[in-house]
Chains A and B, each alone.
Chain A
Amino acid sequence: MNMRNSFRILGGAAALGLALAQPAAAADTLKIGVPVGLSGANSVVAPSVVQAAELAVSEINAAGGVLGKQLELVVADDGSGAQGAQKAFDSLVFQKEVDVLISMETSAARNAGLPIVNRGKVPYIYTSFYEGRSCSPWMYVNAWVPEQQVAPIVDHFMTSEGAKSFYLIGSDYAFGRGMLEFTKKYIETQGGTVLGEEYLPMDGTDWTPIISKLKAANPDALITSTAGGAPNVTLTKQLRAAGVEIPYGNLAVDEGTARNMGADAAGIYISASYITGIASDENKKFLAAMEEHFGGDLKTPNDLSVPQYEAVYLYKAAVEKAGSAEPKKVIEALAEVSFKGPRGDISMSKQRHAPLTMYLAQVQPDGGIKLISSFDNVDPGEQCPNL
């Protein structure tokens, strides 16, 4: 262990020597490391995340940078998993020596990267919604956790649809199970009952036995939390083919996937901290800037890419407040700064997490998203009480 550390120090010293040899490049830029799933499960959404980061960086640089320094993005593919993340974090932290890590990733990749972040002592802003309670002295999160996302759907079903009994269906992995376990507890504290909770492996394609059980249980409402992409589409298609028409809340569908599912997605309720239809000036300005910057290559902004955009601005605000990019000072400042972005006022002030305005929306037959109601400043709850 000691041996390895001293090699690290040697390596660090060598890199420092290199940096001194080219002082101009090192002094004038702040490097933002973006480990992200360009391949694997996240490859559908990752390009939109990189675009959002690119827009934020180019806007900030055009306006004079941060404390006179230009921002530079260093993107690394983490393969959407633990192994790739170790390599990506290791190279960003110890070889590229980035000043901050800002990224949307799978939970597996985040968990694999965190020990490297802790060792390298680099500020890390995690911008993906996740199952909650991941804590590190070097990490902040500006996306939602179950406490914020589940309540709007369950509350709406119980009050507006009069639902008392629920059925839960998910993919068999950490996020799917974590979300539904929280949902079950929440339904029960609100006085509802859960008639069944069923999971299919992530590569499973046939939901028939689960759907038959759902129909036999005859619940008032259905809430699902599958892996994004294929399992979500497969389940929704088979539910519709089986004639399931009860209120249906989907914890894992985004606007783009809903649109691709066509008529099958109609009626699905979603709960998110960002939808493209938010009517604020900041959102309109952001959407127009994305359109102008990327033109025909634009990936539709979404609940995973917008937090990435805002996180770059939050980092800028923290560096300016701290007066330097010194990691310890930036970490302290990150809890105190806020940024008014497309999702509204964002500050990561609650145990390293952010109170967020959540939107309950329903998919329309034409694939569009209709806003049903919004919930201001939903609290993330007790996430990291020891930090």
Chain B
Amino acid sequence: MSVLILDIVTTAAILFTVATGLMIILGVMKLINFAHGAFLTIGGYAAYIATVAGWSPWAAIPFAAVVGLVLGLVVEYVIVRPLYARPLDAILATWGLGIIIGQLITIGFGREVQFVEPPISGAVEFLGLSYSTYRLLLVLVAVVIGAGLTGLLYFTRFGLNARAVIMNEDLARGLGIDSTKVRLATFGLGAALASVAGALITPLVSVDPNLGLPWLVNSFMLVLASGVSIPGLMIVSLLLGGAQVVVSTYVSPIIGGLTIVVLAALILRLRPQGIG
């Protein structure tokens, strides 16, 4: 039983960590960033570069953040900004961007699986059980990311501006808030978060050009069902991630793989605004 609870909490933590970048961008910019999966992949390869360069595996995480941030800022400036007035085209552009990033990574690094040094490995005694140390650590990381983002949104000038843009962009601009800057910073932040998440999951996944792809659909469904709010995303990750673990454990992992998508669709049918 306690194994089940640990499985649920750690799975929820991973889902939350992977989905936050997508949520921040959707919340502020009303843009679904389909390149999210590609930014996860970039984070994985940033960790790979750190391994090749012989850095400490911990250094991979800030490095991934910087790479994601810089790429995010460039992408926003070059690709997303000219399409503000055409939201559907902007979504398509991010979809195409995801494909291009995937192909560039294939050209640069090849299709094969890359080896990335994990920061910690093995299991630890916890509540009388032997459990994966790294998965437990990811719970802490998810809490830190959640708290950090909440702090950023509610206790800083940037957060105030961002919330103003979320509520009413025209009015915010009328009050002298430079919404273009807010959008730029948001996309950079979202890309950096995705990239960090990509680096964080490398000890659990295969680092290859398709690293991010399987996470994209689940992240997307979770973010929509969360009602685009941080506590909402936490709750949805726990509920839907928990359901996935329970179904996988007691029914079948094959049906478990569908749980998040099916339940998110159900939530959106009953509450189109999400649960947040």
Other-chain contact of A260, B10, B115, B118, B133 (Cβ < 8 Å): B115
The answer to whether B117 touches A204, judged by C-beta atoms less than 8 angstroms apart, is: no
Distance, CA A233 to CA B118, complexed state (A): 13
Q: Which residues of B contact A216 (CB under 8 A)?
A: 3
Query: Given the complex of chains A and B, what is the CA–CA distance between A264 and B257 in angstroms?
Result: 25
With contacts A204-B214, A240-B122, A241-B133 taken as known, whether A262 is within 8 angstroms of B115 at the C-beta atoms is yes
| Stretch in contact with the other chain, from A113-121, A193-201, A284-292 | A193-201
Q: Which residue of B lies closest to A244 (CB)?
A: B123
Other-chain contact of B208, A203, A229, A238 (Cβ < 8 Å): A229
- Interface residues contributed by chain A, number (CB under 8 Å): 38
CB pair A208–B10 under 8 Å, yes or no, is yes
A191 within 8 A of partner (CB): no
B213: min CB distance to chain A, Å: 8
Q: B257–A200 contact, CB under 8 A?
A: yes
A372 within 8 Å of B by Cβ? Answer: no
A233–B203 CA distance with the chains assembled, in angstroms: 10
Measured CA separation A216–B133 after assembly (Å): 18
- Cβ contact within 8 Å between B214 and A205: yes
Which A residue sits closest to B106, measured CB to CB? A43
Contacts of B208 in A (CB 8 A): 229-230
Q: Taking A44-B111, A209-B7 as contacts, is the C-beta distance between A200 and B253 under 8 angstroms? A: yes
Cα separation A256 to B215 with both chains bound (whole Å) = 26
Interface size class of B (residues with CB under 8 A): 35 or more
Residue of chain B at shortest CB distance from A39: B111
Bound CA–CA A97/B252 (angstroms) = 48
Contacts of A232 in B (CB 8 A): 206
Give a binary string over A196-231; 1 marks a CB under 8 Å from any B CB, 0 the rest: 001111011111111011011000000000000111
The answer to whether A261 and B115 have CB atoms under 8 Å apart is yes
Q: What residues of chain B lie closer than 8 Å to A206, measured between beta carbons?
A: 11, 14, 204, 244
B123 adjacent to A241 (CB under 8 Å):
yes
Cβ contact of B245, chosen from A209, A230, A231, A243, cutoff 8 A: A209
Q: Mark B1-35, 1 if CB is under 8 A from A, else 0.
A: 00110010011001000000000000000000000
Query: Given that A209-B248, A212-B4, A212-B7 are contacting pairs, would A241 and B204 also be in contact in the complex, using a CB cutoff of 8 Å?
Result: yes
Contacts of B205 in A (CB 8 A): 205, 230, 233-234, 237
Q: Does A278 contact B (CB under 8 A)?
A: no
For residue A172, CB closer than 8 A to chain B, the reply is: yes
Verify B131–A242 contact, CB threshold 8 A: yes
| Interchain CB contact under 8 A, A230 and B206 | yes
Answer whether residue A135 sits at the interface, using C-beta atoms and an 8 A cutoff.
no
Number of A-B contacts (CB under 8 A): 106
The verdict on B135 contacting chain A, using a C-beta distance below 8 Å, is yes
Whether the Cβ atoms of B123 and A201 lie closer than 8 Å is no
Tell whether, in the assembled complex, residue B112 and residue A238 are in contact, meaning their CB atoms are under 8 Å apart: no
Collect the chain B residues with CB atoms within 8 Å of residue A234's CB. Answer: 204-206
B117 and A262 form a contact (CB under 8 A) = yes
Which residues in A have their C-beta under 8 angstroms from that of B122?
240-241, 243
Chain B 118-161 interface mask (CB, 8 Å, partner A; 1/0): 10011100000011111100000000000000000000000000
Q: Are B204 and A200 in contact (CB under 8 A)?
A: no
B203 and A243 contact, CB distance less than 8 A: no
Which listed residue (B111, B204, B215, B244) contacts A238, Cβ 8 A?
B204
Contact between A201 and B257 (Cβ–Cβ < 8 Å)? yes
Given contacts A199-B254, A205-B215, A260-B114, contact A210 B248 (CB under 8 A): yes
Pick the most buried of A200, A212, A257: most chain B CB atoms within 10 A of its CB. A212
Contacts of B204 in A (CB 8 A): 205-206, 234, 237-238, 241
CB-CB under 8 A for A240 and B117, given A209-B248, A230-B210: no
- Asked whether B249 is an interface residue with its Cβ less than 8 Å from the other chain, the reply is yes
Q: Is the CB of B206 within 8 A of A229?
A: yes
Pairwise interchain contact A242-B7, C-beta atoms closer than 8 A: no
Task: State whether the Cβ of B256 lies closer than 8 Å to any Cβ in chain A.
Answer: yes
List 5 other contacts, CB 8 Å, given A208-B248, A209-B256, A237-B206.
A209-B7, A229-B112, A229-B206, A241-B135, A262-B115
27 A–B pairs (Cβ distance < 8 Å), ordered by A: A172-B254, A199-B253, A203-B214, A204-B214, A204-B253, A204-B257, A206-B14, A206-B204, A208-B245, A209-B7, A212-B3, A212-B4, A212-B249, A229-B113, A230-B208, A233-B205, A234-B204, A234-B205, A237-B118, A238-B132, A240-B122, A241-B132, A243-B123, A260-B115, A261-B113, A261-B115, A264-B121
Residues of chain A whose beta carbon lies under 8 Å from any beta carbon of chain B: 43-44, 172, 198-201, 203-210, 212-213, 215-216, 229-234, 237-238, 240-243, 256-257, 260-264
Q: Across the A-B interface, give the 5 residue pairs with the lowest CB-CB distance, nearest first.
A: A243-B123, A209-B248, A233-B206, A230-B206, A241-B132
